[in-house]
């Protein structure tokens, strides 16, 4: 025993989850083909748009842009 404190444990950030724009199930960010529905998770569907998810996504992008600009 050397009396030195142990180094802090190394952690990883949690993976980022986003909605599949086809079936509205969560997938990992960057997923191309949704494992739930098998379609392109990045392509906007009518269900995504009409359910208000596109508007919410747009507002979140604006909020993040403002935060980056302010700080």
pLDDT beyond 70 at 2 = no
| Integer CA distances (angstroms), 64 to 10, 14, 46, 57, 61, in order | 27, 19, 25, 11, 5
User: For the whole prediction, is pTM greater than 0.75?
Assistant: no
pLDDT of residue 43: 96
Instruction: From 67, 70, 57, 58, select the one nearest 20 (Cα to Cα).
Output: 57
Instruction: Read off the pLDDT of residues 3-60 as tens digits, 9 standing for 90 and up.
Output: 788 888 888 888 999 999 999 999 999 999 999 999 999 999 999 999 999 999 999 9
């Amino acid at each position: 025993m050397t009396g030195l404190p142990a180094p802090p444990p190394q952690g990883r950030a949690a993976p980022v989850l986003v909605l599949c724009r086809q079936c509205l199930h969560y997938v990992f960010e960057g997923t191309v083909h949704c494992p739930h529905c098998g379609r392109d998770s990045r392509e906007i569907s009518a269900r995504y748009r009409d359910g208000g998810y596109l508007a919410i996504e747009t507002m979140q992008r604006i909020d993040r842009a403002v935060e980056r600009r302010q700080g």
